[in-house]
Amino acid sequence: MLDTKSDIGRVSAMLSVDDLFQGRHFDREINTLCVRWYLRYKLSFRDLVEMMAERGLSLAHTTIMRWVQRYILEFEKRWNHFARQAGGSWRVDETYVKIKGRWVYLYRAVDKAGKTVDFLVCAKRDVAAAKAFFRRAFASHGRLPRKITLDGYQASHRAARELLAQRRGGARTRIRSSKYLNNLIEQDHRGSVANFLSRVGWGYDRRAWGRRNSAMIDFKGRHFERDVILCGVRWYVAYPMSYRQLEEMMEERGVEVDHSTLNRWVVKYAPLLEKQFRARKRAIGSSGRLDETYVKVKGRWKYLYRAVDKAGATVDFLLTAKRDRKAALCFLRKAIGQHGKPEKITIDKSGANTAAIESYNAEHEADIEIRRIKYLNNIVEQ
């Protein structure tokens, strides 16, 4: 039942389901699934193309992009209308995120159960930006919250106080600063940082996850089918998703599996599958590009050494605590031991990498050519 004129106007603006999907080549379930997964999880259009191909659907990434552009506004109308109203105790915080190459501030509020109240992207972090966010949140929520929990940033406190003073009943809203209560939203920001391992390509065919490579792995005594286990492990390793997100996606496919079960599958089968992949990995080229970068793994900063061939196929990678000649030499031994000696290695101006290659040449009487060409190394740096 609709209580307000705004509700009536919002519903009347919605297209019927038949009109919304009229003339589409694919079934509405497929359209909805792709759009939802793109918005819900940290998946690219090409990631979704792979996942749909595993379900027997041949799609282009541009098709999924058009679906997102076409349906996102219509879906948002329905989600906002039928969504459960957020609670009266808000946790508000802002963080710094990169969108299309530009750093911006993301203001966000959740209730004490973790449900999102609203969010806003701003170029600046000041009183005006905080006021814009609170105006939007108050308008979308429909009523003022009982409590607003903030961090120690005074611009947010000032913006909340001034806006509440202008609103009827605003004096009843309590503004407080509590570090432990705000942990709920501050920890939730971590989900916006993609797992770097999802961007490391291995150069093997997607079919490697099928029967051919799993034939030598023992699945005896497992409650779930082999294909379900392999799908869960592959999605976790290939895409930047958590175990709980995989649990949701499996449930949509009719499989009820706990996130801790998915964790045990990954711990048990990922090393075994890696051996199979390495045994069947495509041969890499004789010209390599080597580079290292700084990444955060489980709260600790590490150096990620990585090498690709000139076609972009990953040769190998290694995480180390330090960035020096010893670490670079350790990585070279690992990569060359797995794939053989390359003719050329292109590096940046790192003296440690140069010293490591020279040490390897002297140690093994090799003649690996060292090249320092900036544009050739772009393929691994990007």
Give 37's contacts (C-beta < 8 A, 6+ positions apart). Answer: 43, 48, 51, 249
Report the 10 Å Cβ neighbour count for 80: 10
User: What pLDDT was estimated at residue 157?
Assistant: 92
Return the biggest CA–CA distance within the chain: 83
Structural contact between residues 284 and 203, judged by C-beta atoms closer than 8 angstroms: yes
Of the chain, the end-to-end C-alpha distance in Å amounts to: 53
Closest CA to 54 of 323, 240, 235: 235
Q: Whole-angstrom Cα distance, residue 287 to residue 380?
A: 13
Q: Please give the full DSSP string across 222-275, using - where no structure is assigned.
A: -SS-HHHHHHHHHHHHHSS--HHHHHHHHHHTT----HHHHHHHHHHHHHHHHH
Tokens at residue 325, please?
A: 């000649």
- Chain centre to alpha carbon of residue 45: 12
Structural contact between residues 325 and 355, judged by C-beta atoms closer than 8 angstroms: yes
Ranges of the chain with pLDDT below 70? 1-14, 83-84, 179-216, 281-282, 374-382
User: What pLDDT was estimated at residue 162?
Assistant: 92
User: What pLDDT was estimated at residue 180?
Assistant: 65
Q: Please give the full DSSP string across 163-198, using - where no structure is assigned.
A: HHHTSTTGGGSEEEE-TTTTHHHHHHGGGGS--GGG
pLDDT digits 0-9 by tens, 323-335: 999 999 999 998 8
SS3 139: helix
Tokens at residue 18, please?
A: 């038949």
pLDDT digits 0-9 by tens, 223-273: 888 888 888 898 888 888 889 989 988 888 788 999 999 999 999 888 888
